[in-house]
Amino acid sequence: MKKLVSFVLALIMCLGLAACGGNTASTPSAASGSDASGAAQTTPAAPAAQPSAAPASGATYTVGICQLIQHDALDAATRGFRDALTEALGDAVTFDEQNAQGDSATCSTIVGGFVANNCDLIMANATPALQAAVSATNTIPVLGTSVTDYGSALDMELGADGTTGINVSGSSDYVPGQLYVDLVLELVPDAKKVSILYCSAEANSVMQSDEFIAAMEATASDVVCSVFTFADSNDIQSVTNAAIADCDALYIPTDNTAASNITIVQNVCVPAGIPIICGEEGMCAGGGLATVSISYYDIGRVCGEQAVQILRDGADVSTMPVAFASNPVKKYNANYAAAIGFTMPEGYEPIQ
């Protein structure tokens, strides 16, 4: 009898062990591997963001958006980006959207969080945001928008086909400096002195200023261009006063700090009757006379379409050419023209 009981108990124990072994084999954590001690690891087998990996059916994506500062142009670009992704991917994409409030150091903090959270893609809206993202990761796809010159922003030569060869691409708001020179000379044909105003911390503004000066020298060598830079918003008013003390027109490139503080510039320039030529429409609408306008919503959408190709279709961001705006249009701010008593020539669309 004792032998029979012992046999039954042994049989029960064997069955119990077999059942435990079956459960362990089907547990998801076992598929993720174990470390040298045999403890289960919770890290996924593959990183969340791989630019060249084709997405699996039913996949979901998290996209981090770092916008440098709040103003009309950048807001429109972010909206276009989100719209393009949402239309293509619907509920499969979620956004972590954050604004650095004009602080480059905050951009670094924001994108560092995106990297730590394994975002599938980072959209960097404006040059300092792009620079922060590139410094934070060389694996997660990074797409910029509202960036004028990717070569200057990344301190590198782009390929002949407009590719970076690294984990970066995007869309550009570049408009040739010659078009702004032509605008100044058309609106102020007797101009002899043009002041250029921008934030010294923005690399793309430096590039645009240099291009404008070179184009002016080639087109009207008797026009003198003088550069006035401010470090941040605290000294915009004083620097603007210095810039318009002796000039016939003021040119401001697509500078984010100037755009977000354009009312200050306007308040200084209106009493002096100075025509302000702006780098983009949102800035001009806020307090300038005229611009050669592109649609920031459109370049945001182009960036969003690039993101769809990367996330859904598995496109390699390193071989994706930087995209550019098309069909710039001459526009003007009727309120500013009236405020300084300026009569606009034919061929300019009013900013609505």
1 sits in which H/E element? none
- What pLDDT score was predicted for residue 56? 52
157 within 8 A of 151, measured Cβ to Cβ:
yes
Q: What are phi and psi of 330, to 5 degrees?
A: -80, 125
Q: Which residues of 126-137 are buried (b: 16+ CB within 10 A; e: fewer)?
A: bbbbbbbbbebb
- What pLDDT score was predicted for residue 39? 31
Strand partners, 330: 292
Domain regions of the chain by residue span: 61-174+296-321, 177-293+328-350
88 within 8 A of 309, measured Cβ to Cβ:
no
177-293+328-350 shares the fold of 61-174+296-321 = yes
pTM to 2 decimal places: 0.76
CATH number for the domain whose boundaries are 61-174+296-321: 3.40.50.2300
- What pLDDT score was predicted for residue 326? 80
Vertex 65 angle, CA 63 and 71, to 5° = 155
CATH, domain 177-293+328-350, list 3.40.50.150, 1.10.3720.10, 3.40.50.2300, 3.40.30.10:
3.40.50.2300
> Which of 95, 102, 98, 126 minimizes the C-alpha distance to 111?
98
Q: Which residues of 8-42 are buried (b: 16+ CB within 10 A; e: fewer)?
A: eeeeeeeeeeeeeeeeeeeeeeeeeeeeeeeeeee
- What pLDDT score was predicted for residue 132? 98
List the chain pLDDT tens, one digit each, 352 residues.
433 334 433 433 333 433 333 333 332 333 333 333 333 333 233 333 333 333 456 899 999 999 999 999 999 999 999 999 999 999 999 999 999 999 999 999 999 999 999 999 999 999 999 999 999 999 999 999 999 999 999 999 999 999 999 999 999 999 999 999 999 999 999 999 999 999 998 988 999 999 999 999 999 999 999 999 999 899 999 999 999 999 999 999 999 999 999 999 999 999 999 999 999 999 999 999 999 999 999 999 999 999 999 999 999 999 999 999 888 999 999 999 999 999 999 999 999 8
188 within 8 A of 223, measured Cβ to Cβ:
no
